[in-house]
Structures are given as structure tokens and as C-alpha cells.
Amino acid sequence: MPPRVRLSFAAMMGVVFLIPAVALYSELTRRADIWWTPRPLLVPLAESQARVEVYVRGKSLGSLLEAGQLRLADAAATDVLASADVGFRFNNVDRVRAQRVPLLLGYAAVCGAGATLLLLLLTGRLAYRDEKEPVAG
């Protein structure tokens, strides 16, 4: 294979390798704290019971709030907490990570295949070799 053709194929394979490599790198270096429920979308106590149960000294948080046994004290006053005063934020990184696994595996497979083809191309293993005529003798 002529050097100019080999160089152009190598450049194309390099680009084909870099596209999933950059996507894979950006997925793996993404901030881990972005998967928390946003503060404006806090989950109320009644809706959060499917995912979390909170106990204070062996008693359910919901029953303590209904009985008026929890108070918030600051420098000026003491207020009784209600169910509406309690909200939850969930860390959804486990669910998001499970959803991203097939995509990351696909990126890794494309990167491996591209790197293999690039290596074969640069080492000359994909060069076309003419068939030789049998020697008449």
C-alpha cells in the first residue's frame, strides 16, 4: 500500500477511534453529585416512603411528625415540625450508572476495534500483496 494511502487511512481510523474515546472519557469523568434530586423538587415524606424509611429512636418519622413530637429550635423561637416541613433528596447515581453500562460497553468495544484496526494499518498488516504467478520450471 502506498505511504500516502496508508497515511490517509491511518488519519481516518484515528478520527474514528477518537470519537467514541472522547465520548467514553466524558461519561467516565462526569461529576458524581449531579444525580441528586434538585432542591426545588424535594420529595415529600408521603411520597418518599416507597424508597426510604426514617426512624428516630425507634419511632417512624411520620408518626413523630403527626404527634407533634419534633420541634425545631433556633435562637428566637421553637416551632413544631409538620410533614410539609420535611423533604428528601435522593441520590440516583446507582440507577443512572446501571442505565449507562450498555452505552459505555459499546463505546469501549468501538474504541478497541478502532485501536486494533489502526495498529494493523500502521504496522502494515493490512497492506495488499499481489498474488505471485507460479514459476514454470
The span from the CA of 90 to the CA of 46, in Å, is 14
- Report the pLDDT value the prediction gives residue 129, as an integer from 0 to 100: 65
Instruction: Tell me the pLDDT of the chain averaged across its residues.
Output: 82
Residue 136 included in any domain = no
Closest CA to 128 of 12, 8, 5: 5
| Any domain includes 135 | no
Query: Domain range for residue 110?
Result: 1-32+93-128
Domain count, the chain: 2
Q: 0.75 cut: is pTM over it?
A: no
The answer on 85 and 44 residing in a single domain is yes
Task: Return d(Cα 78, Cα 112) in angstroms, integer.
Answer: 62
Residue 8 domain-assigned (yes or no): yes
In a domain, residue 133? The reply is no
Is the same domain home to 58 and 73? yes
85 and 54 housed in the same domain: yes
* 76 lies in the same domain as 98: no
Residue 74 in domain: yes
What's the whole-number mean pLDDT along residues 22-28? 86
pLDDT tens per residue, range 112-128: 888 888 888 778 776 66
